[in-house]
């Protein structure tokens, strides 16, 4: 019996010919990630261990992105802990404001995570890097501390759920719509502690940005990791960024899967997840009369160039509804600069949007877009739990950048076709 891509990566790192679902292994990691919420606790635990130095200062990335630019004294103190730790231990990959990006946009952009890697991060959306054909998963701060000391982490090898997407996508349907539809179909625990392996003819044609979006939300189905089989699109993305060698793995034809689900993409229309779970999805044609107060376009899920270009194509020459606040935050400084060069930021500002430096702030209700009681937001982020973006009696709806931009103009959740016309892709 052959192995899945997830099993092959884990076996290679374990120095074994094979591993199987359910097996416990301890393996070396290629990159460890922490942010301004999780890293300070990991640093505290690291210092309690009593080791003198980190295992490898080149294999740790510290990215203060959640409450930055610092929103208050407490957040400033959190970042100070990270900064001083990075200085003491010579951490190569410390990225603060001005160099900082949203961590899961930044690390792939800089070539710090690559195909075939094992990556752990004290952030649940570390699974994003599976879009490159890596094994990437979130861990707790104590596990991060132990890994910074030893260079290793332990895992129970996950079983794999294979998702095969086929058919031609409809206009305005992106990776965000595919993953929202998938979570709606299997539920927020439908892939609990499993590897979600994305495959099929439709996936083979997806852009790298859409792949990042889908892998990013694997955790919203309860998955241990999400992963794509790397191909020419992957190689085109990483070859100009890679700082070291990398390896493509693939799944064997006779690999053992826990389940295989086939999805006809041609039947999927733009999706919206209603409060208060990502599984509460509906096609846009089933959404009626939902007025909104705020629209957020950005985050580690949809803050990349493809997302901004789609939003700009809809917003160009139009105005955001007078009662709607539109906040747009590019994923990294490089994305921000490219959007500036292409004139996208001018389009956003002319339409009535506020454009932010990269930050996670609005996504988790931290700052720069907190909701008041009774308010509704439509966001391209990944979670819409109770109180996720502010007051516990506010509501968060999730969508793609296309639906978000169209809805900002309409003042209510609507389809891009309602703004642009049928068959028009901007």
54, 144 contact by CB (below 8 A)? no
For the chain, 426 residues long, give each residue's pLDDT as a single digit of tens.
899 999 999 999 999 999 999 999 999 999 999 999 999 999 999 999 989 999 999 999 999 999 989 999 999 999 999 999 999 999 999 999 888 899 999 999 999 999 999 999 999 999 999 999 999 999 999 999 999 999 999 999 999 999 999 999 999 999 999 999 999 999 999 999 999 999 999 999 999 999 999 999 999 999 999 999 999 999 999 998 998 999 999 999 999 999 999 999 999 999 999 999 999 999 999 998 899 999 999 999 999 999 999 999 999 999 999 999 999 999 999 999 999 999 999 999 999 999 999 998 888 888 889 999 999 999 999 989 888 989 999 999 999 999 999 999 999 999 998 888 764 443
Torsion, Cα 251 255 258 264, to 10 degrees, reads: 60
**CA separation, residue 290 to residues 63, 280, 287 (Å):** 36, 15, 7
Same domain, 294 and 204: no
What is the pLDDT, as a whole number, of residue 422? 63
> Domain ends where: 245, 263, 281?
263
- Predicted model pTM: 0.93
Q: Tell me the two tokens of residue 389.
A: 């973006």
Q: What is the DSSP string of 251-316?
A: --TTB--SEEEEEEGGGPPPEEEPTT-TT-EEEGGG--S-B-SEEEEEHHHH-SHHHHHHHHHHHT
137, 30 contact by CB (below 8 A)? no
Task: Establish if 93 belongs to a structural domain.
Answer: yes
Same domain, 181 and 245: yes
Task: Establish if 244 belongs to a structural domain.
Answer: yes
Same domain, 11 and 87: yes
Task: Establish if 320 belongs to a structural domain.
Answer: yes
What is the pLDDT, as a whole number, of residue 426? 36
Same domain, 280 and 232: no
Same domain, 127 and 159: yes
Task: Establish if 151 belongs to a structural domain.
Answer: yes
What is the pLDDT, as a whole number, of residue 425? 43
CATH number at residue 58: 3.30.499.10
What are 403-406's contacts with CB under 8 Å, separation 24+? Answer: 403/172, 403/270, 403/271, 403/272, 403/284, 403/378, 404/295, 404/296, 404/297, 404/311, 404/378, 404/379, 404/380, 405/295, 405/297, 405/310, 405/311, 405/312, 405/314, 405/315, 406/314
Same domain, 227 and 315: no
What is the pLDDT, as a whole number, of residue 11? 97
Cis peptide before 232 (omega within 30 of 0): no
What is the pLDDT, as a whole number, of residue 98? 87
Same domain, 295 and 413: yes
Q: Is 172 helix (H, G, I), strand (E, B) or coil?
A: coil
Task: Establish if 364 belongs to a structural domain.
Answer: yes
What is the pLDDT, as a whole number, of residue 408? 98
Same domain, 242 and 288: no
Same domain, 351 and 224: no
How many domains would you assign to the chain? 2
Query: Which residue range forms the structural domain that includes residue 349?
Result: 272-420
The CA-to-CA distance between both ends of the chain, in Å, stands at 47
What is the pLDDT, as a whole number, of residue 284? 95
Of 423, 213, 173, 187, nearest in space to 303 by CA: 213
What is the pLDDT, as a whole number, of residue 402? 97
Q: Tell me the two tokens of residue 312.
A: 């700009």
**Rounded Cα–Cα distance for residues 376 and 6 (Å):** 39
């Amino acid at each position: 019996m052959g192995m899945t891509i997830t099993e092959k990566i884990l076996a290679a790192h374990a120095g074994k010919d094979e591993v199987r679902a359910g097996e416990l292994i301890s393996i070396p990691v290629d990159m460890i990630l922490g942010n301004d919420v999780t890293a300070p606790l990991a640093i505290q635990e690291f210092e309690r261990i009593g080791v003198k130095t980190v295992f490898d200062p080149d294999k740790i990335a510290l990215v203060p992105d959640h409450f930055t630019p610092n929103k208050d004294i407490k957040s400033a103190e959190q970042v100070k802990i990270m900064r001083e730790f990075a200085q003491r231990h010579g951490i190569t990959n410390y990225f603060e404001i001005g160099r900082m990006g949203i961590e899961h946009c930044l690390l792939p952009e800089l070539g710090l995570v690559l195909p075939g890697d094992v990556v752990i991060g004290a952030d649940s959306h570390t699974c994003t890097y599976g879009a490159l054909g890596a094994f990437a998963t979130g861990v707790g701060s104590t596990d991060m501390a132990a890994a910074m000391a030893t260079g290793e982490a332990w895992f129970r090898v996950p079983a794999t759920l294979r998702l095969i997407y086929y058919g031609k996508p409809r206009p305005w349907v992106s990776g965000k719509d595919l993953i929202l539809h998938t979570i709606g179909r299997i539920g927020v625990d439908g892939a609990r502690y499993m590897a979600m392996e994305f495959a099929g003819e439709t996936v083979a044609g997806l852009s790298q940005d859409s792949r990042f979006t889908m892998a990013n939300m694997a955790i919203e189905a309860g998955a241990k990791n999400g992963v794509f089989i790397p191909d020419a699109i992957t190689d085109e993305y990483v070859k100009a960024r890679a700082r070291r060698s990398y390896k493509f793995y693939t799944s064997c034809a006779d690999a053992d899967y826990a389940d295989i689900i086939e999805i006809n993409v041609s039947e999927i229309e733009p999706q919206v997840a209603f409060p208060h779970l990502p599984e509460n999805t509906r096609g846009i044609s089933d959404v009626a009369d939902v007025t909104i107060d705020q629209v957020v376009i950005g985050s580690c899920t949809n803050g990349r160039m493809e997302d901004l270009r789609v939003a700009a194509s809809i917003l160009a020459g139009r105005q955001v509804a007078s009662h709607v606040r539109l906040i747009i935050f590019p994923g990294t400084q490089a994305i921000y600069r490219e959007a500036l060069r292409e004139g996208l930021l001018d389009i956003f500002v002319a339409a009535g949007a506020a454009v932010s430096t990269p930050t996670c702030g609005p996504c988790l209700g931290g700052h720069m877009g907190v909701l008041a009681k009774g308010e509704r937001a439509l966001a391209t982020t990944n979670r819409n739990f109770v109180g996720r973006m502010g007051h516990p009696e506010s509501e968060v709806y999730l969508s793609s950048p296309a639906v978000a931009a169209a809805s900002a103009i309409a003042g209510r959740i609507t389809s891009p076709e309602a703004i642009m016309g049928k068959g028009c892709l901007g």
